[in-house]
């Protein structure tokens, strides 16, 4: 057997090490690089008194395998330090199924979220798959419960309405019953875990829907996009979209994972939404 030189050995070791690092990046590295991304969104019917409203949106934490509680604490602490006016959470706080263990561990951490105009949350499909009643119990206990509810937010003598939709797959209800008592001229912002809710049947208007569920696809191939998106409307990957009904829909990339335990070219995010009136 031909002996290799020390230089050749080091070169090969470096090559194999580089390949190992490259292979491990989507599984062990990118998932923990959580960005704070700021989006400026023009919202129809938003009163000028709410111009510059700073909303932090958290979505798809998926506490569990490969998403430790320490990461959740870090995300919650960073969110509070961003000094938002309002915090909204759009579901999938746990990863497990048919168990309350992760629910009871993550919600005491979520209870530490705080904002002057409140913290409001809805459930995602994984929260139902874990345990609907226990998930809802914690939302009520923390005062964050917006599931099938309506809340009026006031500022400078004006108001906007927050509405909590059910999960598209697990407890969907028509938005009409929720929004019936909202004056037609008022601004309506809906939290819905799955952005497909924007394409469901309802007769009133929604000015902005805030969603998650897709995780941005978790894998974003340059010039191709996300090969797998768990939604009917494949336009709903991430960022600001417009529904077939004309509603503006913002979709967060979220924090955790679901279908496959990797992220590539799709960094997790804490989304900061700066809302301004749409004058177009």
Give the pLDDT of residue 11: 46
**Residues whose CB is less than 8 angstroms from the CB of residue 174 and which lie 6 or more positions away in sequence, other chains included:** 200, 201, 202
CA 77 and chain centroid, separation: 16
pLDDT of residue 279: 86
Is pLDDT of 1 > 60?
Answer: no
| Assigned token pair, 209 | 């829907």
Positive or negative, the CA dihedral 19, 22, 27, 28 is positive
11 contact partners, CB below 8 Å, separation of at least 6: none
Average pLDDT in the chain: 92
pLDDT digits (tens, 9 = 90+) for 77-119: 999 999 999 999 999 999 999 999 999 999 999 999 999 999 9
- Of the given ranges (65-69, 150-154, 219-223), which has the lowest mean pLDDT? 219-223
pLDDT over threshold 80, residue 18: no
CA–CA separation, 86 and 155 (whole Å) = 12
Q: Go through the domains of the chain in sequence order and give each one's CATH number.
A: 33-277 (3.60.21)
Closest to 89 (Cα-Cα) out of 144, 166, 143: 144
Q: Are 226 and 267 in contact (CB under 8 A)?
A: no
Sheet containing 208-211: order of strands: 150-155, 158-164, 187-191, 208-211, 248-251, 239-242
Q: Under a CB-based contact definition with an 8 Å cutoff, are residues 34 and 77 in contact?
A: no
pLDDT band at 16 (very low <50, low <70, confident <90, very high): very low
Q: Quick one: average pLDDT of 11-31?
A: 52
200-224 tens-digit pLDDT: 999 999 999 999 999 999 999 998 9
With a CB cutoff of 8 Å and minimum separation 6, the contacts of 268 are 31, 32, 33, 34, 35, 253, 254, 255, 256
* Segment 20-37 mean pLDDT: 72
* Tokens (6 digits) for 168: 């598209």
CA distance 67 to 63: 5
Q: Determine phi and psi for 42, rounding to 5 degrees.
A: -85, 125
Q: Determine the average pLDDT of the residues in 212-240.
A: 95
SS3 content of the chain, % helix, strand, coil (to 5): 30, 25, 45
Helix (H, G, I), strand (E, B) or coil at 104: helix
How many other CB atoms are there within 10 angstroms of residue 186's CB atom? Answer: 17
The pLDDT value given to residue 4: 58
Confidence band, pLDDT 50/70/90 cuts, at residue 29 = confident
């Amino acid at each position: 057997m031909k002996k290799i030189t020390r230089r050749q050995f080091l070169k090969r070791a470096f090559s194999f090490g580089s390949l190992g690092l490259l292979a491990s990046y989507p599984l062990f590295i990118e998932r923990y690089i959580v960005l704070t991304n700021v989006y400026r969104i023009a919202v129809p019917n938003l009163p000028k008194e709410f111009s510059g409203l700073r909303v932090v949106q958290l979505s798809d934490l998926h506490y569990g395998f490969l998403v430790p509680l320490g990461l959740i604490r870090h995300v919650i602490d960073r969110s509070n330090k961003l000094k938002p006016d309002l915090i909204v959470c759009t579901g999938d706080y746990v990863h497990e199924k048919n168990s309350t263990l992760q629910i009871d561990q993550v919600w005491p951490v979520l209870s530490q979220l705080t904002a002057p105009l409140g913290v409001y949350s809805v459930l995602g499909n994984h929260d139902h798959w874990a345990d609907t009643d226990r998930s809802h119990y914690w939302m009520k206990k923390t005062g964050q419960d917006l599931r099938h509810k309506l809340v009026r937010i006031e500022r400078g003598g004006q108001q906007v309405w927050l509405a909590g939709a059910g999960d598209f797959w697990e407890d969907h209800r028509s938005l009409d019953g929720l929004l019936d008592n909202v004056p037609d001229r008022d601004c309506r912002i809906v939290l819905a875990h799955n952005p497909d809710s924007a394409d469901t049947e309802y007769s009133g208007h929604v000015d902005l829907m805030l969603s998650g569920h897709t995780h941005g696809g978790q894998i974003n191939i340059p010039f191709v996009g996300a090969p797998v998106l768990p939604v009917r409307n494949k336009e709903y990957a991430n960022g600001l979209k417009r529904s077939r009904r004309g509603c503006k829909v913002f979709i967060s990339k979220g924090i955790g994972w679901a279908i496959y335990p990797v992220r590539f070219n799709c960094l997790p995010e804490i989304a900061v939404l700066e809302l301004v009136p749409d004058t177009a």
